Structure 1
Amino acid sequence: MNPLPACCTPPLAHWPLPQPLAGAQLVSTRFDAALLAPTDFDLSQIPPPKGASKRQTEFLAGRLCAREALRQLTGTGSTPACGKDRAPQWPTGISGSITHSRGWAAAVVARSTDWRGLGLDMEQLLSAARAARLAGEILTPAELQRLAQQPAEQQAQLVTLTFSLKESLFKALYPLVLKRFYFEHAELLEWSEDGRARLRLLCDLSAEWRHGRELEGQFSLFDDRLLSLVGIPAR
């Protein structure tokens, strides 16, 4: 096992979401870009990305989580490379997703025979002012109508939730369809206090993934952050 860089806490295997996915492994770490050392990538045997120290530390923390999650799942800790489309390149037979936000990173992995697609996303909760500015870019007309029916103090959280779940949906589906889609191409239909959610596609992505197809998601709140996950079962 490679030494742990000082900028990251020891990877933690846990499940900070309401519904465990059978056969899936989730690992997280906390990181501090101010503690990134020039030798940390060599120490971790992970090729560094281009960018400022913040971007490099996020990448390093996410890859460390992915490597440990793969080790937990398969017994072999490999590091997913970054593809031309910037998506992680998982080992054959593995589905996975990586996320990071303001000092916290995580990765989730599973065998493709259990979960065909996984999408994990962490977001800092939006302020009321920022949520109001972004709502028109993130929400569909139907979602905006539902937003207006919510108490004012809950609207920023709903905008954050919609943003995060759509990011998770994209991460779960993109490896299956290899086609980009955007906020207006999906809709959050339902969500509940116990962390369950349901989304619907509003475009055709492939012969299988057509307009109207619905998918399940889940989410949790902690440390002023919102974590969401969309899993596409193999069966």
Structure 2
Amino acid sequence: MIEDILPPGIRFAEAFDDAGAPDWFPEEEAAVARAVAKRRGEFATVRRLARTALGELGVPRMPLLPGRRGAPQWPAGIVGSMTHCAGYRGAVATRGTEFVSVGIDAEPHEALPEGVLDVVARPEELEHLAAWPARGAGVSADRLLFSAKESVFKTWYPLTGRELGTEEASITFTCETAVSGSFTARLLVPGPVVGGRRADLFTGRWTARRGLLLTAVALPAVRISAHTAYDGPARLPAC
């Protein structure tokens, strides 16, 4: 499922449950020793998936421990991202010579809890989503916005080492079909410097399938300009 929104060159693995025995290192098990069973299962599964993706890059098995703010610590020379929600676990990895950062997020395809959208969304985002045709086609626009901001944050954080508030990026969506398309995040704070130039736009893709919403952002190590990141598909009208 996630391969539909990833650019070429990024390895991935995904699962829709935590079936099977945990495949983890003692250090990983210790990191969640006090967690509830659900959290332990998610943690173990996404790391198994991450090692599958890393294996396709020729990277040997190794522990993938959480670092500051829980972000996974990837092997040297590798960038990646993990995500999990009810009914989905996924991991992606690629070499830093191909992409400087990636971020993925999965969410259940349902409305956000009451009050969350007011915290997450900027006024212009609310206006954009209110008129977005895909909303009328059944896409949970508020949850999609939340997911896109999560993917943007996961891409941003490894490059900057600092938080990115939900109000510090403004996102607009386009669509290719009623259930898939692209999005652009305009950073409202100075973006990370990549290849000697500042990246002030992050672009990504989204899809809505199987009761899930998935989003992904990837910043390539080449073709970075002062105003572009991963170009994705050709820009389309807002469905």
TM-score, normalised to structure 2, is 0.79
Query: SS at the partner of 1:143?
Result: helix
CA shift for structure 1 position 167: 0.3
RMSD: 2.5
Matched, 1:56 2:16: no
Partner of 1:126: 110
CA offset digits 1:87-136 (Å, max 9, x no partner): 10000000000000113211000000001000010001123xx4663221
Query: In the alignment, which of 163, 188, 194 is matched to residue 171 of structure 2?
Result: 188
**Counterpart contact for 1:186–1:202, Cα < 8 Å:** yes
AA matched with 2:126:
L
CA shift for structure 1 position 76: 2.0
CA shift for structure 1 position 221: 1.4
**Counterpart contact for 1:187–1:201, Cα < 8 Å:** yes
Matched, 1:117 2:101: yes
Partner of 2:225: none
Partner of 2:25: 45
Matched, 1:146 2:128: yes
When residues 138 and 199 of structure 1 are mapped into structure 2, their CA distance, relative to the original with a 3 A threshold, is same
**Counterpart contact for 1:186–1:200, Cα < 8 Å:** yes
Q: Which moved more, 1:145-154 or 1:108-117?
A: 145-154
Instruction: For 1:183 and 1:156, locate their aligned partners in 2 and report how far apart those are by CA, in whole Å.
Output: 21
Instruction: For 1:220 and 1:19, locate their aligned partners in 2 and report how far apart those are by CA, in whole Å.
Output: 7
Instruction: For 2:2 and 2:139, locate their aligned partners in 1 and report how far apart those are by CA, in whole Å.
Output: 22
Instruction: For 1:232 and 1:57, locate their aligned partners in 2 and report how far apart those are by CA, in whole Å.
Output: 30
**Counterpart contact for 2:159–2:192, Cα < 8 Å:** no
Q: How many residues align?
A: 212
CA offset digits 1:137-178 (Å, max 9, x no partner): 111010111222246645861111111111001111101100
Instruction: For 2:49 and 2:153, locate their aligned partners in 1 and report how far apart those are by CA, in whole Å.
Output: 20
**Counterpart contact for 2:24–2:63, Cα < 8 Å:** no
Query: SS at the partner of 2:39?
Result: helix
AA matched with 1:139:
A
Structure 1: runs of 5+ lacking an equivalent: 1-14
CA shift for structure 1 position 182: 1.8
Matched, 1:231 2:218: yes
TM-score, normalised to structure 1, is 0.80
**Counterpart contact for 2:121–2:167, Cα < 8 Å:** yes
Instruction: For 2:129 and 2:182, locate their aligned partners in 1 and report how far apart those are by CA, in whole Å.
Output: 17
Instruction: For 1:65 and 1:203, locate their aligned partners in 2 and report how far apart those are by CA, in whole Å.
Output: 34
Structure 2: runs of 5+ lacking an equivalent: 223-239
Matched, 1:214 2:165: no
Partner of 1:12: none
CA offset digits 1:31-58 (Å, max 9, x no partner): 24xx78xxx55x6435221310111111
Instruction: For 1:213 and 1:205, locate their aligned partners in 2 and report how far apart those are by CA, in whole Å.
Output: 5
CA shift for structure 1 position 219: 1.1
